[in-house]
A and B are shown apart, each in its own frame.
Chain A
Amino acid sequence: MRILIYVFLGLGMFFGLLGNLGVLRFPDIYTRLQASSKCGITSLLSILIASMLIKGITPMSGRILVITLFFLITSPVASHIIGKRAWEEGLIPWRRKKPGKKEN
């Protein structure tokens, strides 16, 4: 049980760090949004699952469950709203240049 808690806490910090690296590294809004939505959700989910495992079945665990469900619903919606705003503003998605084609 204790090893499981350590694994989840470590996964949370690992994904948080890598998600930030992706946000700093990718070239475009949409790709950055991909990195932040996946890794951000996973890092918070791991930490919440670890704290639920620490507390066992108590009233505090129920509250953490409510926070988890709320976050699982709203976080994709928030990234969807940001993506929709960028799409409606007309920002052009980044595309990989083909190696044989001439650039202009």
Chain B
Amino acid sequence: MDLNPLVLDIVIFALTGISVISMVRVIIGPTTEDRLIGLNLVVAQIVGIMVVVAVKFNRSIYLDVALVYAILGFVSILAIARYTGGKEVQK
């Protein structure tokens, strides 16, 4: 499939802008959970950016990076949710 290469550029820039918007919730969120929600969105959008970059330049090494980044984001959200906060959470 040969697309107009400008389309993928537009998608990459739009996803970058969207992830900047979702950093706002990370900064202003009153509780830790709000910040975690923002981080979850940022991880999803960065995985999307990685996949689009891999398709654009036709390099499959970026897909490995995307998979490892998805795994790391999941594990880090799990760790933050588990080991911060009050005593009754850390059972």
Contact = CB atoms under 8 A, between A and B. Distances in A.
Interface in B11-54: 11, 14-15, 18, 21-22, 24-25, 31, 33-34, 36-38, 40-41, 44-45, 47-48, 51-52, 54
Band of interface residues on B = 35 or more
B76 to A, nearest CB: 10
Nearest to A59: B60
Interface residues of A, number: 48
Main secondary structure of the interface of A (DSSP, over half): helix
29 contacts: A2-B3, A5-B3, A12-B11, A16-B45, A17-B18, A20-B25, A23-B38, A24-B21, A24-B25, A29-B31, A29-B34, A32-B25, A33-B33, A36-B37, A41-B44, A51-B52, A51-B54, A55-B55, A59-B60, A60-B55, A63-B64, A64-B63, A66-B67, A67-B63, A70-B70, A75-B44, A81-B77, A82-B33, A82-B40
Given A20-B21, A60-B63, A89 B88 contact: yes
B32 to A, nearest CB: 8
Contacts of B38: 23
A79 B81 CA distance: 11
A5 B1 contact: yes
Contacts of B24: 24
B39 to A, nearest CB: 10
Interface of A: 1-2, 5-6, 9, 12-13, 16-17, 19-20, 23-24, 29, 32-33, 36, 40-41, 43-44, 47-48, 51, 53-56, 59-60, 63-64, 66-67, 70-71, 74-75, 77-79, 81-82, 85-86, 88-89, 91
